[in-house]
Amino acid sequence: MAMAGNRIDIMDLRQLISLKQKGVSNRKIGVLLNISRNTINSYIHVFQSFNLSYDELLGLDDKSLFDLFPKESEIDNYRYYTLSQYFTYFTQELKRPGCTLYTLWEEYFRKHPDGYKHSQFNTHYNKWREKLNGSGKLEHIAGAKLFVDFTGKKLSFIDKSTGEIQEVNVFVGILPSSQYTFVKAVKTQSREDFTDALASCLEYFGGTPLAIVSDNLKAAVSKSCKYAPQINKTLDDFSIHYGCVIDPTRPYHPQDKSLVEGAVKIVYQRIFYPLSKLTMFSLSDLNNEIRRLLELYNSYNFSQRNTSRKQEFIDLEKAHLYPLPLEPYQIKYFKRAKVQKIGYIYLSDDKHYYSVPYRLIGSTLEMSYNQNVIEVFHNRERVAFHKRDFRSGKYSTISEHMSSTHRAYSEWSLDFFQKGARTIGLETEKYIIKLIEQYTYPEIGYKQALGILMLKKQYSMDRIEKACKRAIDFPKHNYHIINNILKNNLEDLDVPATNYASHITHHENIRGSEAYQ
C-alpha cells in the first residue's frame, strides 16, 4: 500500500486507472486501495491533463506508465499542480506559428512569480509531452499543412438513364492541427478530378496552408523518389496559383500520413455508413449529402475534449491560413511540339495550328494551355500567346511571327490562286480550283498551287495550259502530275481512254491520299 512521500505502486496505479474507467468515485477508490483521497485526487488531476483515454493509459508498459507521474512529493507540491493545469494550453499554443516554449514560460512566470524557473519548467513540460509522443500523437503547427488522400473504399450512385451503379472515388483532406476535415466524391483519381477536389477543399477551408501533403498519387507525382519526388507540372502550377507547396509523403513511410488515414477510418463511420442506407441518383446529390454529414462530423466533440474540429479550426487554425486567390484555378496541360517548316506548332488535342516566331523553325517548344489560352515557351521564355481555337485544321497566326515570305502565306486563299492562275489561262484556273477543292483543308493544296504557278518560270504559259487541260479529268490533281507532263513533253499527247473512276466504293470513313500529305 502507498506510504506518504512515495509514489504509489504500479499495480495500485493500474487499479486506480481501471476503477476510474469504470466510473468509480475518487473517495471509493481511496477506500478500496487504502490510499488517501488527496493522493487519488492529485493523480487524477495529473493524468487528466495528459489528454489520454483510460484505455491509452492502461496500454502503456509499466515503466512508461510509472514514469509519467512525478514523485509523491512533487505531486503534492502546489507549484507542480499549478503548472500541470497549463500543459494542454501550452500544447495548443505551440501549434501557433512563432510560439516557443520560452515565450510560454515567460507568460507563466509573470502570472506565478513563485513558480518554476525556465529549466525546471522545460523539464516538467517535456516529460509530460514525451508521454504524448510515446502514444503516437504528433504536434502540428496551425496552418502549416493540409494532408490529402483518397479513401480505399468507394461510394456509388445509380445512373437514372441506364440504371447502372456508378462507383466513385472519395477525396479526403484534413488540417492536422485542428483535424478539420473535408470530403468530396469525384469520378476518378485523374489529374483533373484531383485538382478539382483540392480546389474545392481549399474553398471549403476558406484559405491555403503552407504545404499540401499528398500520398504518392499518380495525379500528383510524375516520378517517385524517397527524398525528392518529382511533382507533375499541372500540380506545380496549381501550387503556384494558390501560393503553397506540394509535399508528397515519403514512399514506405506510412507515419507521414497516419493522421489522414486515421481520419479516413472515422469518415467510414460517420459518412460512409449513413450513406449506405440511402440511394443517390447523381454525383451532385451524393456530394450534397456528403456535405450535410460532413458538417455534423466536424461539429462532433472530441471524446477527450469539450471541443469539436470545427471549433478548433475557428479558434486556432483559420486565422493562420493564407487568403485564396481571386480566381479559381483552371487546370493547365503541358505538351512539347516541334515547329513546322512554315512556322507553326500543332496542338493535337484540337488539331489546330498556332504560329510562333519564324526564327524557331525546327526547334522543339513547350506548350502550356487551358480552356482559354495557349502559351508557348522556348528555354523557359514565353515566345507566343494565343487564344485557344478549337477549329480543327485551322491556323491561328500573329503576323509579327512571320518572315516577309511567311507573311505572304497569310494572304493565301482560293480566290488568291484563281487570280494567279487566270493570268496563265482558263485551263490552269480550272485545274487549280480542282486541286485545292479536293482537300478537306484547302491549306494543304496552297503550296502545290503555288508550285504550278511558278512553273511559268521554266515553261511557256501555252504548255502549262495544255498540261492542265490534259490532266483535268485525272482522279487526283497535284503539282507533280503537271510538272511530270511538262518535263516529259506529254502535254500534246492524247489522253488514253481510261476510266479513272476508283474501283473502291465511296465511304465516308475511307480517307484519300490527301490525308497523308
Q: Are the C-beta atoms of 231 and 220 separated by less than 8 Å? A: yes
Asked whether residue 58 is domain-assigned, the answer is yes
C-alpha–C-alpha distance, residues 151 and 50, integer Å: 31
pLDDT single digits (tens) 204-235: 999 988 888 876 555 444 444 343 344 567 77
Asked whether residue 436 is domain-assigned, the answer is yes
Return the top range by mean pLDDT from 65-74, 78-87, 325-334. Answer: 325-334
Which of 287, 320, 353 finishes a domain?
320
Nearest to 66 by CA among 137, 1, 17: 17
Q: Looking at the structure, do residues 33 and 115 belong to the same domain, yes or no?
A: yes
Asked whether residue 263 is domain-assigned, the answer is yes
Mean pLDDT of the chain: 78
Q: Looking at the structure, do residues 159 and 305 belong to the same domain, yes or no?
A: yes
Q: Looking at the structure, do residues 224 and 301 belong to the same domain, yes or no?
A: yes
Percent of the chain at pLDDT > 70 equals 79
Q: Which residues pair with 344 in a beta bridge?
A: 355
254 SS3 class:
helix
- Per-residue confidence (pLDDT) for residue 74, from 0 to 100: 47
Asked whether residue 418 is domain-assigned, the answer is yes
- Please spell the DSSP secondary structure of 279-321, one letter per residue: --SSHHHHHHHHHHHHHHHHHSBPTTSS-BHHHHIIIIIGGGS
Q: Looking at the structure, do residues 116 and 199 belong to the same domain, yes or no?
A: no
Q: Are the C-beta atoms of 145 and 258 separated by less than 8 Å? A: no
C-alpha–C-alpha distance, residues 350 and 335, integer Å: 13
Q: Looking at the structure, do residues 198 and 312 belong to the same domain, yes or no?
A: yes
Percent of the chain at pLDDT > 90 equals 21
Summarize the confidence of residues 198-206 as an average pLDDT.
92
Asked whether residue 440 is domain-assigned, the answer is yes
Q: Looking at the structure, do residues 168 and 302 belong to the same domain, yes or no?
A: yes
CATH for 217: 3.30.420.10
Q: Looking at the structure, do residues 187 and 281 belong to the same domain, yes or no?
A: yes
Domain span at residue 343 reads 333-403
Q: Which residue in the block uniquely carries the three cell numbers 456509388?
A: 156
C-alpha–C-alpha distance, residues 290 and 267, integer Å: 10
490 SS3 class:
coil
397 SS3 class:
coil
Within a 10 A sphere around the Cβ of 290, how many other Cβ atoms? Answer: 23
C-alpha–C-alpha distance, residues 180 and 175, integer Å: 5
HSE toward the beta carbon, residue 160, CA cutoff 13 A: 5
Q: Which residues pair with 213 in a beta bridge?
A: 147
User: Does 500 score more than 50 pLDDT?
Assistant: no
Q: Looking at the structure, do residues 439 and 506 belong to the same domain, yes or no?
A: yes
User: Does 446 score more than 80 pLDDT?
Assistant: yes
Q: Looking at the structure, do residues 284 and 379 belong to the same domain, yes or no?
A: no
Q: Looking at the structure, do residues 507 and 428 belong to the same domain, yes or no?
A: yes
Q: Which residues pair with 384 in a beta bridge?
A: 376
Asked whether residue 328 is domain-assigned, the answer is no
Asked whether residue 2 is domain-assigned, the answer is no
Q: Looking at the structure, do residues 200 and 288 belong to the same domain, yes or no?
A: yes
User: Does 460 score more than 70 pLDDT?
Assistant: yes
- Structural domains of the chain, count: 4
Asked whether residue 140 is domain-assigned, the answer is no
Q: Looking at the structure, do residues 217 and 299 belong to the same domain, yes or no?
A: yes
Read off the pTM. Answer: 0.50
C-alpha–C-alpha distance, residues 91 and 202, integer Å: 26
Which of 320, 345, 377 finishes a domain?
320
- Of 200-204, 462-466, 488-492, 500-504, the range with the lowest mean pLDDT is 500-504
C-alpha–C-alpha distance, residues 158 and 164, integer Å: 6
Which of 134, 166, 197 finishes a domain?
134
C-alpha–C-alpha distance, residues 337 and 351, integer Å: 13
User: Does 282 score more than 70 pLDDT?
Assistant: yes
Higher pLDDT residue, 358 or 375? 375
User: Does 397 score more than 60 pLDDT?
Assistant: yes
Pairing relation of β-strands 211-214 and 145-150? parallel
Q: What is the largest CA-CA distance in the chain?
A: 129
pLDDT single digits (tens) 11-54: 777 778 878 887 878 888 877 777 777 777 777 777 776 667 77
Q: Are the C-beta atoms of 418 and 449 separated by less than 8 Å? A: no
